[in-house]
Amino acid sequence: MKITDRTYAIELDRNDPLARFRDEFYIPPHQDGKDQVYFCGHSLGLMSRRIKGEIDRELEAWAQLGVSAHFEGGFPWKNYHEALREPLAALVGAKPLEVVAMNSLTVNLQLMMISFFRPAGKRTKILIEKHAFPSDRYAVASQLRFHGLDPNEHMVQLEGTSGGGLLDESEIEHYLEAHGDEVSLVMFPGVQYATGQVFDLHRITTAARACGSAVGFDLAHSVGNVQPDLHDSGCDFAVWCSYKYLNGGPGAVAGCFVHEQHSGRSDLPRLNGWWGNDPETRFLMLPEFAPAPGADAWQLSCPTVLAMAPLRASLRLFEEAGMESLRQKSVALTGYLQQLIDTRLDGRISVTTPQATPRRGCQLSLRVHAGRAAARTLFQELQANGYLGDWREPDIIRFAPVPLYNSFEDVWRVVDFIAAN
């Protein structure tokens, strides 16, 4: 049996211990009634079949208990966010104290920079990658302006020298060795959104610490995909969204990590709200703010229960499947996709995502050799025929075979379609 045979893919699925989880999700149908091949988990994860029941329960609590649902019923709303803490901590390699579900990603990033970007003297710069996701760039620029600094002078944008949009950590290290005394904050992604490159959080944090800079990460494309080790990395903070690999639904409540070394610090600036107050005194309505332990101190408002309910359902699937097993399947899926591209599409398409397994997650970014117009045409043909990846300018098609709900046959089908067109 050859790797290019459909029967090979079917056999891989037959022997996949995680195959049963596919039935936990709604697979969007194509117009012909068949399931689409959905490779967009890096943009919006699919809906779990468990989510409706989770939301319905909270709607029923609202209907039957009203305000009393904050303190009564099966899952009192007052502490609803606490049910997300341990499963999120497990996914990001953190202590439960260091993790909180709240807000949206860029709101959390702004809150973190209020605390950890503290320009002083000649140390006034923020170091990012040149091809950072636009929202990160906008947030960084706005923080600089907030402090009266010109982003054109104080936002340093590193670009890799090896081409293809990749940036090696050694280039970050070399910059910080030479100019680190001017850098107040180093802020990088865990996984680069366009190339799918996985960054080494430990190396970046070590380099930032060596020059005296604070360091944080945007894990939007990391959480539920690869296994970041936030606590041991020693970084100051990290933020992420939950609507991609965590399948929390469109605009789902985001997450935030603050290292335990900052718990209870009174010298750290922070924007405060009442839900960040110590829960022991929160309802005493005292005039003075007393910060809650850990990351909870950065909360502003009470839990968004109806937005957290889908995430709560999804996180149970991660606990059942196990992140280590999901990562193993992810490596197998992307490896199989790479092999089929190399075997059947050689000369037509190249993968711009790093080849080495530790340097990539679920996502492979593809570049069509015939140029942007041909790439755009291929992308439109894929969409029209029920093969959903996504497009990123100027010429990248992104596919993300997600181990919770994608199959090896999905991978075979999409390559077979491209090969035939």
The one-digit pLDDT tens for each residue of the chain (421 residues) are 799 999 999 999 999 999 999 999 999 999 888 889 999 999 999 999 999 999 999 999 999 999 999 999 889 999 999 999 999 999 999 999 999 999 999 999 999 999 999 999 999 999 999 999 999 999 999 999 999 999 999 999 999 887 778 999 999 999 999 999 999 999 999 999 999 999 999 999 999 999 999 999 999 999 999 999 999 999 999 999 999 999 999 999 999 999 999 998 888 999 999 999 999 999 899 999 999 999 999 999 999 999 999 999 999 999 999 999 999 999 999 999 999 999 999 889 999 999 999 999 999 999 998 888 988 999 999 999 999 999 988 888 999 999 999 999 999 999 999 999 8
Q: Domain residues for 128?
A: 56-318
Contact 199, 191 (CB under 8 A): yes
Q: Is residue 47 part of a domain?
A: no
Distance (Å, whole) CA 336 – CA 329: 10
Q: Please tell me the chain's helix, strand, coil percentages from 3-state DSSP, rounded to the nearest 5.
A: 45, 15, 40
First CA to last CA distance, the chain: 24
3-state secondary structure of 255: strand
- DSSP code at position 292: P
Residues 11 and 151 in one domain: no
Residue 238, pLDDT score: 98
Residue 67 burial by Cβ neighbours in a 10 Å radius (0-12, 13-18, 19+): exposed
Distance (Å, whole) CA 100 – CA 296: 6
Residues 176 and 116 in one domain: yes
Residue 418, pLDDT score: 95
Last residue of a domain, which of 318, 353, 377? 318
Residue 371, pLDDT score: 87
Residues 313 and 410 in one domain: no
Kindly state the tokens that stand for 410: 């999905």
DSSP-assigned states of every residue in 244-301: STT---TT---EEEE-GGGTT-SSS-----GGGB-TTTGGGT-SS--BPSGGGGG--S
Q: Is residue 50 part of a domain?
A: no
Q: Is residue 101 part of a domain?
A: yes
Residues 208 and 255 in one domain: yes
- DSSP code at position 310: H
Q: Is residue 156 part of a domain?
A: yes
**CATH number, domain containing residue 301:** 3.40.640.10
User: What number of other Cβ atoms are within 10 A of residue 377's Cβ?
Assistant: 13
Residues 244 and 388 in one domain: no
Q: Is residue 51 part of a domain?
A: no
Distance (Å, whole) CA 83 – CA 216: 25
3-state secondary structure of 15: coil
**CATH number, domain containing residue 388:** 3.90.1150.10
Last residue of a domain, which of 293, 318, 343? 318
Residue 162, pLDDT score: 74
Residues 378 and 267 in one domain: no
Residues 231 and 372 in one domain: no
Cα 341 to the center of its chain, rounded Å:
26
Q: Is residue 160 part of a domain?
A: yes
Kindly state the tokens that stand for 236: 């100051």
Q: Is residue 108 part of a domain?
A: yes
Contact 112, 141 (CB under 8 A): no
Last residue of a domain, which of 294, 318, 342? 318
Report the domain count for the chain: 2
Distance (Å, whole) CA 37 – CA 363: 15
Residues 284 and 195 in one domain: yes
Residues 198 and 63 in one domain: yes
Q: Is residue 48 part of a domain?
A: no
Residue 150, pLDDT score: 98
Distance (Å, whole) CA 230 – CA 235: 7
**Longest Cα–Cα distance in the chain:** 73
Contact 80, 55 (CB under 8 A): no
Q: In 117-168, which residue ranges form alpha helices assigned H by DSSP?
A: 134-146, 151-154
Residue 347, pLDDT score: 82
Residues 62 and 29 in one domain: no
Residues 314 and 344 in one domain: no
Residues 151 and 257 in one domain: yes
